[in-house]
Structure 1
Amino acid sequence: MTLDQYRSLADRALEPFVAVSDRIGLTPDGVSLIAFGFAVAAGAAFTIADPLWYVLGAVFVFVNGWLDLLDGALAREQGVDSKGGDLLDHVLDRYADIAVIAGLSAGIGQYLLGLAAVTGVLMTSYLGTQIQAVGLGREYGGLLGRADRLALIGLAGVAAAVVPGPLVVGLGVVGLLLVLFAVVGHFTALQRFWGAWSDLD
């Protein structure tokens, strides 16, 4: 399960947005910063843990994901792809992940679960870029890539607004999502590590 395999389809859907962004003078770095702002807003909304704010948080997460695709497409359109832009994008993405997951865990008061989830997410992303650093190309594989996580967070935000109570072992939708990120995140990181280690032989 990974939505990253549909990047080429997303790039085609982005074309009109790229054209408009270029026309109004947006830069890829500017889009990255705007995307990060939506992630912080999503984290703040999830902290409130009210049905309306869960829905708003879900919308903010979807906007963050869309803009995260747009910045790269805009950079290619403007011919300004750079290592600096790539670095900024990755740093902001990691802080965005932290902001959103911290908001989710704070909203339900499950801080240890949030810690397990955010470390799983960060290790998944770290392995993706570290594999590239050792010369094997960027790794998007595994059970949960960033696109998958954003989609699940957005859907969980809507579901939490509709079904606010506990579902399993005292955990509601958000708590179960954090469990998923904790377990599958670390599994995906190990999956990427093992695949890269095998390629090094």
Structure 2
Amino acid sequence: MRVGLTPNQLSLLSLISGVVAAIFYAKTYPAGGAAFLLISSILDLLDGDVARRIGHSSDFGAAIDWIIDKYIDAFVIIGIALGGVDARIALFALFGSFINTFIKPVVYAEIGYRSRVSGKINDPIEAVGFFGRPETIITILLFSFIHLNIGLAIIAVMTHLSAIQRIAYLYKHYRVS
């Protein structure tokens, strides 16, 4: 089935769905938030795959995908906070989400990873860190039906632990002996 959407249009639809999810969370409708976050996540999975399949992969597409992902993460976590979750937990979760992701482009810039395999940057840091964006999304989806305060607390702790794991990896492999 061909829909006729470009990969960048799929990314934009992912962003729009993420904003709608944030609005639902802010209005204290977590089921609606979860539904639109799931749609956003599916679209996010599709955009890069479609780009690679049709030969439209680009540096812009790869970069904008990361940027849109972080906008969605921020909007959703802010929406959850506006819906009544403890803002301190939400801020710590948001910071953990951002710092855990931020490590990768810093590594790319400072260490110089650039080679690609199947359209993705081939770097050892990709496999380091046990709690990234997919785990964050799954946690939000699951705890939308349990208790979002607990879900964001889990995200806050786990993203920071994952960032520490990445920093330890960098120290072990790239420090001057």
- TM-score (normalizing by structure 2): 0.86
1:195 to 131, 152, 169: 169
Deviates more, 1:136-145 or 1:73-82: 136-145
Structure 1: where are the runs of 5+ without partners? 1-19, 160-172
Deviation for aligned residue 1:132: 2.9
Instruction: Flag the 1:183–1:55 CA change in 2: closer, same or farther, 3 A.
Output: same
1:128–1:140 distance in 2 versus 1, CA, 3 Å: farther
Q: Distance in 1 between matches of 2:52 and 2:144?
A: 32
- The answer to whether the 8 Å contact 2:85/2:149 transfers is no
Q: Does 1:31 align with 2:10?
A: yes
Alignment equivalent of 2:51, drawn from 75, 82, 91: 75
Q: Distance in 1 between the 2:127 and 2:51 partners?
A: 20
User: 1:115 Cα shift?
Assistant: 1.0
Shift of residue 35 of structure 1? 0.4
SS at match of 2:131: coil
Equivalent in the alignment of 1:149: 136
Q: How far is the alpha carbon of 1:57 from its aligned partner?
A: 0.8
Answer yes or no: is 1:121 the counterpart of 2:100: no
Contact 1:46/1:57 (8 A) holds in 2: yes
Identity of aligned pairs, percent? 30
CA distance in 2, matches of 1:95, 1:114: 15
Show the counterpart of 1:41: 20
Letter in 2 for 1:135: G
Structure with the higher fraction of residues in helix conformation:
1
Deviation (angstroms), 1:140: 4.7
Q: Any unmatched runs of 5+ in structure 2?
A: 114-122
Structure 1 segments of 4+ aligned residues over 4 angstroms from their partners = none
AA matched with 2:172? S
Asked if the contact 1:139–1:192 (Cα under 8 Å) also holds between the matched residues in 2, the reply is no
Shift of 1:145: 1.3
Q: Which of structures 1 and 2 has the larger relative contact order (alpha carbons within 8 angstroms, sep 6+)?
A: 1
Partner of 1:108: 84
Q: Deviations over 1:7-63 (max 9, x none)?
A: xxxxxxxxxxxxx3xx232111100010011111111111111xxx21111111111
Aligned length: 164
Q: Give matches, 1:161-176, under 5 Å.
A: 173-176=147-150
* Separation (CA, whole Å) in 2 of partners of 1:43 and 1:141: 29
- Whole-Å separation in 2 of the counterparts to 1:73 and 1:113: 34
Whether 1:98 aligns to 2:77 is: no
Q: Which amino acid aligns with 1:179?
A: A
